[in-house]
Structure 1
Amino acid sequence: MFADTTQMLPSIGWAGFLDGPQIVEFIAALALAIALGAAIAFHPTTARTIDTREEAEMPKVYIMYALVGAVVGEIVLAYGMVVGFVIFGLGGLMRFRTDTASTRDTGRLIIVTLLGLIAGLNMPHFAVIAAVVAWGLIYVFDGHPVCELEVHEIPEGRVKEAAAAYRAVLDELGCKLINEDKSFSKRRIDYVFRAPRRSTQAGLHKALCERVPVDVRGEIDWEIE
């Protein structure tokens, strides 16, 4: 009564792993998706509107989702719309039944699910290449974590001097400042910055406490992605 849809799907198999032109085409598709995603993610106007850590993290999320889109397109191209509906169902399941801490984690969840799907569809060459590309993107993007630093309870009337002192120490530590927001009435400064690759929260915290002069020093709260 019902057609066997598994017979309608092509089987690429391990022999396809040595299919040079197909591999080149897949790599080119991923590279183009990443390049186009980066062009939008790092649009010149975006940097001027970043105020929070979440906004600073969004470019890497855009690029990862562009990669996801390219992988989905290659799967549908190889296996047809039948698998497209499977992917749609998986997406709905992850959207409503999975609790992830951030949009970044959601992107990783989607990409690893797609890698499992590709492997299960007997497309090992696609799975390996996509995994290597995704691993590389994660290494590049998350090697410099985005941190949000709140300095509060700054001595009365010393917010401006405190901002200059904390900014100078962050620069000495190799941090790239993304945004600085001063509140004179609340005696508070909020920083969003990218930390060096090998830095730790404990190391940064210790350096700030030791190098910022006591007369302008405040209390520090951290939030790191």
Structure 2
Amino acid sequence: MTENLRVAVVTGGSRGIGQVVAERLAADGLAVAIVYASNKEAADATVAAITGNGGRALARSADIGDEAAMSAVFDDVEAEFGGIDVVVNSAGIMHLQPVAELDLAALDRMHRTNIRGAFVVNQQAARRVRTGGAIINFSTSVKKLALPTYAAYAASKGAIDALVPVLAKELRGRDVTVNAVAPGPTATDLFLEGKDEATVTAMANMNPMQRLGTPADIAEVVSFLAGPGRWVNGQTVYVNGGMV
């Protein structure tokens, strides 16, 4: 272990926003552990990108809703890097459907990842993050927009908004901050898939900046909360260009 090495765990760090967050934290000088569900190729590629730029990284596969699996991941990270300073929980799934037609099995799957998984990850983080560290979760701006078909997803992310300020207070005296970022529409492959140009343009124009966010826009805020942003605590920070 390198003396004074800061270490981050990033769930959902193999693709999309989570991948860019992992690479940004590595560029900030942190060793990064990427937790992914199933896409080993993408996770390995992210590790290779980080190490190719002189950083330190590892990847581990785990279901974030499985407390034993996540405890083992955190054990591995501590054994490899000596401790944990930052935990970013960006893993999540989204199922869109009107409430009257909602597939409750899909709701249960989303609950396991977005709510149970968040509590599992935050529980491990609360037990292990070192003094001066940060816990950062992902919420969503769609809660304020109240768009049709988004009720189940928005409700699952509303749980994050409830968790964050409570955990921040529970960690009183530890000098560990707990926050969430709530992105608006962001230009990832997952977001753009299946949307025509008119839909993308309409969503881009929902904010006064008149563009979609980029993963780098979101990663910049995560970097701030993981590093210098020590006086921001217990908050959900909306990162959407002024959309809501």
TM-score by length of 2: 0.27
**Bigger radius of gyration, 1 or 2?**
1
TM-score by length of 1: 0.29
